[in-house]
C-alpha cells in the first residue's frame, strides 16, 4: 500500500489557495485515474485505487494544515506503512512556479504541514515539492500562500496538475526520478508550444438551440485530458 497525501486546508474558501496545491494534485490524480468517491477516514478524506499496479490510498487531511500529521499518523499506523511508502504533495516557496522536485527526508523550511508530519510520523517520507514561487519578502509569505492562484497562474497550473496526474504511476512504483523527469518534460513541451494565433474576426454565429449543443465536449470524455479539463473547470 502506498499513501499519497495532499496537503491543504479543508473548506471551499481555501480551494484555490496556493497553499492547497497538494489537495489539487491528489484531486487531479483521483479524477484522471477513476478513483472512487472520497469518503471520511482517519480524520480526513480518502479514496483507494490502483496506480502502476500498486494499491494506493489518496488522502486529504481535514485537520487543517498545522495538524496534518495527526491525521496522516492514523493512516500510517493502521496500515503499518514504512515512510518510504508515504508520498506527500505540497506547495514549495523555494521553487519557481510550475517546477516540481521529488526528494526524501530533509528540512521542513517553515512549512507547517511538513512540520506536523515530521513531528507525528518521522522525517523520512517522500516529498513532491510543487513550486509556487516566493513573493520576495518574508513578511509577504503568509499572504502569498493564503491567496488564490491568479488567472495568469492558472495557465501553467492546469497542465502541471495534468502532468502530475498522468505520471503519478511512476511514484507508486517508486520511480521518483522518472516521475520528476517526465513532469519536467511535459512542462517544457508546454512552454515551447507555439502560441495560438488570434482568429480572424467573424460575424457572430447564430445562437444554437440547447438541443444542438447538449453534452458537446471540446475534449473526448474518456481521455485523460478530458477528465482533467472537466475536473479543473469544476474547481474554479
Q: Can you give the residue range of the structural domain that contains 15?
A: 2-196
Residue 96 falls inside a structural domain:
yes
Question: The whole model's pTM is what?
Answer: 0.83
Give Cβ neighbours of residue 128 (< 8 Å, ≥ 6 apart).
Answer: 25, 87, 88, 89, 90, 100, 101, 102, 164, 171
- The CATH number covering residue 160 comes to 3.40.50.1470
Residue 208 falls inside a structural domain:
no
Residue 100 falls inside a structural domain:
yes
Count of positions (residues) in the chain: 236
Catalytic residues: 19
Residue 110 falls inside a structural domain:
yes
46 forms bridges with which residues in the sheet? 39, 59
Q: How many domains in the chain?
A: 1
Distance CA 168, CA 157 (A): 16
Distance CA 156, CA 188 (A): 11
Residue 227 falls inside a structural domain:
no
Residue 13 has pLDDT above 60, yes or no: yes
Residue 229 falls inside a structural domain:
no
- Convert the pLDDT of each residue in 53-75 to its tens digit: 999 999 999 999 999 999 999 99
pLDDT at 207: 46
pLDDT at 159: 94
Question: On the CB side of 120, how many CA atoms lie within 13 Å of its CA?
Answer: 19
Per-residue pLDDT averaged across 169-181, rounded? Answer: 96
3-state secondary structure of 154: helix
Residue 174 backbone dihedrals phi, psi, to 5 degrees = 85, 10
Residues 62/140, Cβ–Cβ less than 8 Å: no
Angle of the 68-79 helix axis to the 112-121 helix axis, nearest 10? 40
Read off the pLDDT band of 215 (50, 70, 90).
very low
Residue 218 falls inside a structural domain:
no
Read off the pLDDT band of 133 (50, 70, 90).
very high
Residue 12 falls inside a structural domain:
yes
- What percentage of residues in the chain have a pLDDT greater than 90? 72
Cell of 140: 509577504
Amino acid at each position: 500500500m502506498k499513501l499519497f497525501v495532499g496537503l491543504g486546508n479543508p473548506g471551499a474558501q481555501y480551494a484555490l489557495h496556493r497553499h492547497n496545491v497538494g489537495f489539487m494534485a491528489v484531486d487531479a490524480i483521483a479524477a484522471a485515474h477513476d478513483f472512487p468517491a472520497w469518503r471520511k477516514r482517519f480524520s480526513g478524506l480518502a479514496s483507494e485505487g490502483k496506480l502502476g499496479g500498486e494499491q494506493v490510498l489518496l488522502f486529504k487531511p481535514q485537520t487543517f494544515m498545522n495538524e496534518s500529521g495527526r491525521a496522516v499518523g492514523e493512516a500510517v499506523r493502521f496500515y503499518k506503512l514504512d515512510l518510504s511508502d508515504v508520498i506527500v504533495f505540497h506547495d514549495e516557496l523555494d521553487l519557481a512556479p510550475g517546477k516540481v522536485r521529488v526528494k526524501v527526508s530533509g528540512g521542513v523550511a517553515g512549512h507547517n504541514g511538513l512540520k506536523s508530519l515530521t513531528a507525528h510520523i518521522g522525517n523520512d517520507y517522500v516529498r513532491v515539492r510543487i513550486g509556487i514561487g516566493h513573493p520576495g519578502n518574508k513578511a509577504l509569505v503568509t499572504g502569498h500562500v493564503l491567496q488564490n492562484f491568479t488567472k495568469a497562474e492558472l495557465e501553467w497550473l492546469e497542465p502541471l496538475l495534468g502532468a502530475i496526474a498522468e505520471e503519478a504511476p511512476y511514484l507508486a512504483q517508486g520511480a521518483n526520478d522518472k516521475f520528476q523527469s517526465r513532469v519536467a518534460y511535459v512542462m517544457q513541451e508546454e512552454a515551447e508550444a507555439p502560441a495560438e494565433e488570434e482568429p480572424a474576426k467573424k460575424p457572430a454565429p447564430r445562437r444554437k438551440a440547447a438541443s444542438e449543443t447538449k453534452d458537446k465536449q471540446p475534449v473526448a470524455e474518456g481521455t485523460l485530458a478530458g477528465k482533467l479539463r472537466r475536473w479543473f473547470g469544476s474547481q474554479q
